[in-house]
Structure formats: structure tokens, C-alpha cells
Structure 1
Amino acid sequence: MDLDAVRTFVAAADAGRFQDAADELSITQQAVSKRVAALERDLGVRLFTRTPRGAQLTIDGQAFLPHARDLLRAEERAVASVRPGSRALRVDVIGRRLAPAALLGAFHRAHPEIELDVVTLFDADAAVAALTSGTIDASFRAVTMPGRQLPDDIEAARVHDEPIQLLTGPAHELAAARTVTPAGLAGHRIWMPGIVPGTEWAAYYADLAAAFGLTIEITGPDFGTEPLLDTIADSRTLATFVGEQTRLVWPADHGLRRIAVRDPMPVYPHSLTWRRDNPHPALAALRDHFGSRRSGGQADEVWTPAWAHPRLI
């Protein structure tokens, strides 16, 4: 159904004269007559009766009028739903317990007026595809991976370097240490069954292991965070890596230890990615937020893969 014809019908019904409707719509009276006639043909009924006083609704016209108004209101809602800034900003954070979720939470506290829709996609490839297709507005990822480049329509800015910590159980030989060095972890078993080959985090930890001669084991089933913590808590030999801002909760009797890694400090390079032509005003606010909060860098010497996207904001 032609919504311009429906809009013209409603205007003529409200005005009572085709000429007045034409004036309101900034079209000619002839155009009003043609639109109404076309609508009557589509519906198979007469909507108006011409009289010396103007145009009066027929019984069918009276029956159709409230539905015509509903159609126009539905059109307004449909347009408003995609108008820049009228819908929630959809952001991918990779995991709700990880640093990107905390970063986005800080943005929300600073801008409570901005509505957010938080999603979690699997890896950088899925995030880039979603950005390209327009199903998300932004994503927090480590980019770019070795041998890969972002599409030309995707922008990225490195916004947060998250220190990596060693997590051990109370009986582990390093449990009492306040800090460890990456090189000092050579020969220790570091177990990370959640690493999936081909992902950006697999690329990061592969480079970390190669840089410092570490052994990172990814074998064994990944039953999730809680079973991993149970195993680490009971082990004298196994440890794992976690991000400094990764939120973990474990029973008091586990006695797990978070140990800082220094000299140099391995950091995970979180970047904000978005599509260049995305007009959502909240996206600009998100970029400005991270541009204003970025510090000059860590006090310690840091390590991150050479392929990590440079800071742009």
C-alpha cells in the first residue's frame, strides 16, 4: 500500500477539502485527487463523497480512517527505530567477565543516558563480519592477528593494555611469590584449555610462549572457568594466565593466588573497532571516552606482540 496515498487520505479527511490537504502537503489539488483515486482503486471502495462544501468521508472512509492513522504511526515508529541515536548502541565485548565488559561498564557509568546492547561474539573474524554487515556497532578485540589486515571500511584504536597475571593454587611452588618474570616461568606448566586455535587470543599466547620459552598447554577438555579453577587450586604443578581485570570468584578454601608478571609486563592489547561510516552518535561518544582516558602507558616495561594494533586514539 502506498503510504503517500494513505497520508494524503488522512490529510484530506482532517481538512475536509482536497485543496486544503494539498496546501498542507505542498502538492497540487490534482495530485491529491490522483492519490486518493489510486487508494480507492487499491481498496475497491469509495472513500470520499464530493459535496459543495468539500469532501466528506463515506462509511468505508470512516471505517478506514483509524487504520490509516495506525499505518502512519507505524511508519513513524519504523523510521524512528533506525534513526541515528534512537536505538541502543550494540557493542561486542568477547566475554562478560573479561576486561572489555569492565571498560564498557565504566563508559555506561560515565554516560548513563546512552542505551547499550551488549553482545558476545566468538572471535575477531566474527566481530569484523558483524561490523561489516552492520549487526553490531563496535567491538573490543586484539587486532590485527599475524598475516591479517582489517577491511578498509573498519577502523580500530588500541584503547587498553591489560596486564597478564599468573594464577596458581596454594601448594604451587610459586604461590608465595609477589611477582614473577616471564622468563622465570620457563619450565613451569601453564594450562589454558580454553585457547582455541585460530583465534586472536591463541595468537597472543603463542607469541608470548615463543618470546619467553614458555610451555602453554591447551590440551584437555574445556569445561569452563569453575572446573579450571578447581584443577588449579588442587595442583602443585599447574598454573594458568588470567587478565588483571578478569572477574573470578572461587571458594575461600581454594586459596588461589594472583601473581603479577613483571620485567617485562605482558599486556593484552584491547582495541576498539568500528565501521567508518557508522553514523550512530553514541559511537562517537564511546571513542571520545577512550580517547580522554588513555594514559601515557604503563610504568613498567611492557611486552605485547609486534602485530598488535598501535594506539590511534
Structure 2
Amino acid sequence: MDLDMAQVRAFVYAAQELHFGRAAGKLAITQQALSKRIGRLESLLGTKLFDRPGHGVALTEAGRGFLEPARRVLAAADDAVAATVRKDRPLRVDVWGHLYAPMRTLAQVTGRGPGPEPGQAAVPAPELELGHGRDLPTALAALLHGDIDAAFGRVHPPLPADLTHRLVRLEPVDAVLSTDHPLAAEPALRPGQLRDSVLWAPGALDRLDFLRRFADRFDIRERAGSVNLGLPHFLTEVAQHPRRFSLLPADVPLPDVPGLRSVPLVDPTPLYAWSLLWRTGNTHPGLSALAATCAGEAGRSRWLEYDPARDWLPEKA
């Protein structure tokens, strides 16, 4: 009997969560796809693995017996893949959050390796093969499927249990608005002053966790979404309307868009968190080197400073 690892993984995640919806979310697939995989596995094994009383799920006796061997099978399969992966190939890294320009941070990080320990040579920054993910769920799916080694962007829960992430940078965020906006002349703004403005987002807010949580926290009632056609197009839309605003990291170079102004946010200053994310157990040597260069640059550039009396970070709210 040949087992399909995608089906076994679906079973293990569902057994851990005892909830098909949460398990599907952690695998970055639909609940329908997860149910189909488990159904095919049950058909192959000739037995039910789950009971479905009411709204939840519970392991059957056969499911409980299958769980630990299934975990070992998955671990062995992951080890087999890791053992055959070329260690001299570039580290495959996806980035997301394109309006917020994640490449700026990675470029700064990989421009120099971490400082050496006393008596040791400096560790060179790893060679990277960069790609683009649309959002966090896309990056999670690519990591879980082994298509990439790491991902870089803003991470927020829930995350699959076999992924690890490390905070790299906390970046202050400014309000970007039209020069015709009633608050455009202010030298700085408190987030609550934007309450009567329209938050302009590069997509649906249910996929943009940071902007959604900012709007909820500071009572921004009017919210509207655009299509992400790049930063110049997006900011042109902001500049054309006297009540619109959006948020960008403070040191993102603004494109040459007429009628646009960037204003610092204070009391509190919102911070956008950049993290490195990878699958636990990945043995590519470039992964530890990249994590080390990130930590070194964060220390040199004081990227992880956070004062709860001064700053707002959704993860700490």
C-alpha cells in the first residue's frame, strides 16, 4: 500500500487541531481540499479515521492508532527530502508585502554578513534566489510544499506548528495623504486624528492584516480597497482624493507623484513587523547564515526597539 504524503499530512494536521477548518488554514488549502484528502486516505485504508459528531471531529480508535506512525512517516519523508537537497544551491526566499518594499530590508541585510565573534572570520551572507508571494497564506503554502526554503514579510497567527519565525525589524509607519487633505499641513499626526478619513488599501482588508487592525484599533470607519498595480499607481489614487490616506514605512522612497504628502504618526507610532519564516528542520546552510545576518543588522541598526508607551504594534495589542 503506497501512502500519499499530502493525504497523511492532512490527517496529521486535522488530528492535531481536531478541526478541519483550522487544519486547512494551517496547510494553506481549502477545507474542501483537506476533507477530500482525508476521505481518500480513509478509502485507501478501508477504515474511518475521524468521527464527526455535531460541529467538531474526533479521532476513531483506528485514527488514534494511525496518528503516531503517521507522524513518523511524515518526519522520515521530510528527512529524506532534506538529505537529497543540494546544499550548494541558493537559498530560495519568497517575499510579500510589495507596497511596503520588503526588498529594502533584505538588500541591507545581505549587503554584509554578521560581525565575527572574537577570533573568528566573518560569515558571508548567503546567496539568495528571490521570488514573490502574494501574501502570507501563499508563502505558507510554498514553505509547506517545499517550493521555497524561507519567506520574508509580516507574520501573524495562526501559523502551522512545524514553521518557525524570527522577528527581524520593527519599522515606523507614516500616513500618506493628498496635499488637499484637511490634515496635510500638520507636522505630525496622532492615528486617532484620521478617524474621519478614508483608509485606502491595496486590496481587500481581510487579506491585509496590518491595515485592518490599524483601522479597528483607531476607529477608522471608512475603508475602501483598490487593485494592487504597484506603488506609483496606488499613491496616485491616494493623491487624487482629499479624504484618502494610507500607511507606508517611514523610509520607503516615495515615487514622484504630484499632490502627495507623507506625515509622521505619533502618540503612538505604528510599527510594521518584518519576520523571517522557515520550516523547522530545514538544514540548508544558507538558512542559518541568513538568520545570523538578519540578527547582526538588527543589532547594528537598532531595528528591534519597541516602547509600549510610545509605539503601537498589533502583535502586542
In the alignment, which residue of structure 2 is the partner of 1:273?
277
1:262-301, aligned counterparts within 5 Å?
Answer: 262-292=266-296, 293-294=298-299, 295=302, 297-298=305-306, 301=310
Which of residues 221, 241, 244 in structure 2 aligns to 1:238? 244
Which digits, 9 at most, give the CA deviation of each residue in 1:251-281, with x for residues without a partner?
Answer: 4xx1421111110111112211111211111
TM-score of the superposition, structure 2-length normalised?
Answer: 0.62
Distance of 1:279 and 1:221 partners within structure 2? 38
Kindly state the Cα deviation for residue 215 of structure 1 after the two structures are TM-superposed. 3.0
Check 1:243–1:127 CA distance in 2 against 1; reply closer, same or farther (3 A cut). Answer: same
In the alignment, which residue of structure 1 is the partner of 2:130?
118
In the alignment, which residue of structure 2 is the partner of 1:107?
109
Check 1:289–1:169 CA distance in 2 against 1; reply closer, same or farther (3 A cut). Answer: same
In the alignment, which residue of structure 2 is the partner of 1:178?
187
Kindly state the Cα deviation for residue 229 of structure 1 after the two structures are TM-superposed. 2.2
Which digits, 9 at most, give the CA deviation of each residue in 1:201-243, with x for residues without a partner?
Answer: x222222111111135224555543333223223322222222
Check 1:96–1:236 CA distance in 2 against 1; reply closer, same or farther (3 A cut). Answer: closer
> Are 1:139 and 2:184 matched, yes or no?
no
Are the aligned partners of 1:141 and 1:271 in contact in 2 as well (CA < 8 Å)?
Answer: yes
Check 1:223–1:271 CA distance in 2 against 1; reply closer, same or farther (3 A cut). Answer: closer
Check 1:119–1:95 CA distance in 2 against 1; reply closer, same or farther (3 A cut). Answer: farther
TM-score of the superposition, structure 1-length normalised?
Answer: 0.63
> Are 1:258 and 2:262 matched, yes or no?
yes
Which of residues 200, 205, 218 in structure 2 aligns to 1:191? 200
In the alignment, which residue of structure 2 is the partner of 1:152?
161
Which of residues 91, 94, 113 in structure 2 aligns to 1:92? 94
Are the aligned partners of 1:97 and 1:248 in contact in 2 as well (CA < 8 Å)?
Answer: no
Which digits, 9 at most, give the CA deviation of each residue in 1:83-135, with x for residues without a partner?
Answer: 21x11111111155634211110122114763211111111111112112221
Distance of 2:152 and 2:173 partners within structure 1? 17
Kindly state the Cα deviation for residue 287 of structure 1 after the two structures are TM-superposed. 0.8
Check 1:121–1:220 CA distance in 2 against 1; reply closer, same or farther (3 A cut). Answer: closer
In the alignment, which residue of structure 2 is the partner of 1:26?
none
Distance of 1:97 and 1:211 partners within structure 2? 22
Which digits, 9 at most, give the CA deviation of each residue in 1:136-163, with x for residues without a partner?
Answer: 1111132223xx2x22221011211122
1:202-217, aligned counterparts within 5 Å?
Answer: 202-217=208-223
CA RMSD across the alignment: 2.7
Distance of 2:227 and 2:92 partners within structure 1? 32
The residue identity in structure 2 corresponding to 1:90 is R
Distance of 2:273 and 2:97 partners within structure 1? 15
Are the aligned partners of 1:93 and 1:140 in contact in 2 as well (CA < 8 Å)?
Answer: yes
Distance of 1:277 and 1:175 partners within structure 2? 49
In the alignment, which residue of structure 1 is the partner of 2:177?
168
Distance of 1:114 and 1:100 partners within structure 2? 17
> Structure 2 stretches of 5 or more lacking a match?
1-83, 114-123
Distance of 1:259 and 1:126 partners within structure 2? 32
Are the aligned partners of 1:98 and 1:247 in contact in 2 as well (CA < 8 Å)?
Answer: no
The residue identity in structure 1 corresponding to 2:156 is T
In the alignment, which residue of structure 2 is the partner of 1:67?
none
Which of residues 190, 215, 226 in structure 1 aligns to 2:232? 226
The residue identity in structure 2 corresponding to 1:110 is R
- Percent of pairs identical after alignment? 30
1:2-151, aligned counterparts within 5 Å?
Answer: 82-84=85-87, 86-95=88-97, 98-111=100-113, 114-145=126-157, 148=158, 150-151=159-160
Check 1:103–1:216 CA distance in 2 against 1; reply closer, same or farther (3 A cut). Answer: farther
